[in-house]
Chain A
Amino acid sequence: EVQLVQSGAEVKKPGESLRISCKGSGYTFTTYWISWVRQMPGKGLEWMGRIDPSDSYTKYSPSFQGPVTISADKSISTAYLQWNSLEDSDTAMYYCARLSPPDSYSGSPRYFDYWGQGTLVTVSS
């Protein structure tokens, strides 16, 4: 059974650093890209970026290029989302999601087939 299990809720102060995790199991971790998705309170889903765990190549949404870092450790089948300096506006639920196998025409995955349970990050002074 494919599972993505995320780390627990975090409460942090502005300016602090944070790394949350997403551990994959039930499949070959390096075969599928992992994405991170943000949901701010009362708002919709936003795609942040993705990583290919086989070579750690990343692609970010222009809206998230810079403020966050996506990484992966394939030896432990885990992807990460990291902040060096949190802001109040980072308060949100964060989901990791596995991207589907690539399409033979475009070479790119087309949809998110499995999701983690979410990690709630609260930033408050």
Chain B
Amino acid sequence: QSALTQPASVSGSPGQSITISCTGTSDDVGRYRYVSWYQHHPGKAPKLMIYDVTNRPSGVSTRFSGSKSGNTASLTLSGLQAEDEADYYCSSFTSSNTYVFGTGTKVTVL
């Protein structure tokens, strides 16, 4: 099972919007609406930001939104803030009844 493909890094200025892509295959991202996104600050536990492609858990800012088209899912951060600087990972359930993470994207707030 290969990792889902994400850009290594994305950057933006405060207040701007950025989008992180997550490309898989028809056996994972393309097959199910079971794509989730995690924010990971080094040294801390990852935090669930989006589940089932578009849903936000209670307490997660509305500045975070998700979408999917075909084999590619996306996470959009609107109104970028300094606290958003972190690593972001997508994840998907797969047709093998396993789970796969993305390669990870480092978000930098300029």
Interface membership of chain A positions 93-114, coded 1 if the CB is closer than 8 angstroms to chain B and 0 otherwise: 0010100100100101111110
Given contacts A44-B89, A106-B93, A108-B93, whether A113 and B34 have CB atoms under 8 Å apart is: no
> What is the CA–CA distance of A111 and B57 in the complex, to the nearest angstrom?
11
Count chain A residues whose beta carbon lies closer than 8 angstroms to a beta carbon of B: 26
In B1-20, the 8 Å CB interface with A consists of: 1, 3
**Is A117 a contact partner of B45 (Cβ separation < 8 A)?**
yes
**Is B57 a contact partner of A113 (Cβ separation < 8 A)?**
yes
**Is B102 a contact partner of A115 (Cβ separation < 8 A)?**
no
From A45, A103, A110, A116, give the contact of B89 (CB < 8 A): A45
**Is A110 a contact partner of B52 (Cβ separation < 8 A)?**
yes
> What is the CA–CA distance of A113 and B40 in the complex, to the nearest angstrom?
13
> What is the CA–CA distance of A44 and B101 in the complex, to the nearest angstrom?
8
- Min distance, Cβ B97 to any Cβ of chain A, angstroms: 6
Is B78 an interface residue, CB under 8 A from the partner? Answer: no
**Is A44 a contact partner of B45 (Cβ separation < 8 A)?**
no
> What is the CA–CA distance of A118 and B46 in the complex, to the nearest angstrom?
10
> What is the CA–CA distance of A35 and B46 in the complex, to the nearest angstrom?
13
- B104 (CB) vs chain A CBs: closest residue: A44
- Min distance, Cβ A14 to any Cβ of chain B, angstroms: 26
Q: Which residues of B contact A (CB under 8 A)?
A: 1, 3, 32, 34, 36, 38, 40, 44-48, 51-52, 57, 87, 89, 91, 93, 97-104
A-B contacts, 26 of them at CB < 8 A, read A35-B99, A44-B3, A44-B87, A44-B89, A44-B104, A45-B38, A45-B104, A47-B99, A47-B100, A50-B99, A61-B1, A61-B98, A62-B1, A97-B46, A100-B51, A106-B32, A106-B34, A106-B93, A110-B51, A110-B93, A111-B51, A111-B52, A112-B38, A113-B48, A113-B51, A113-B57
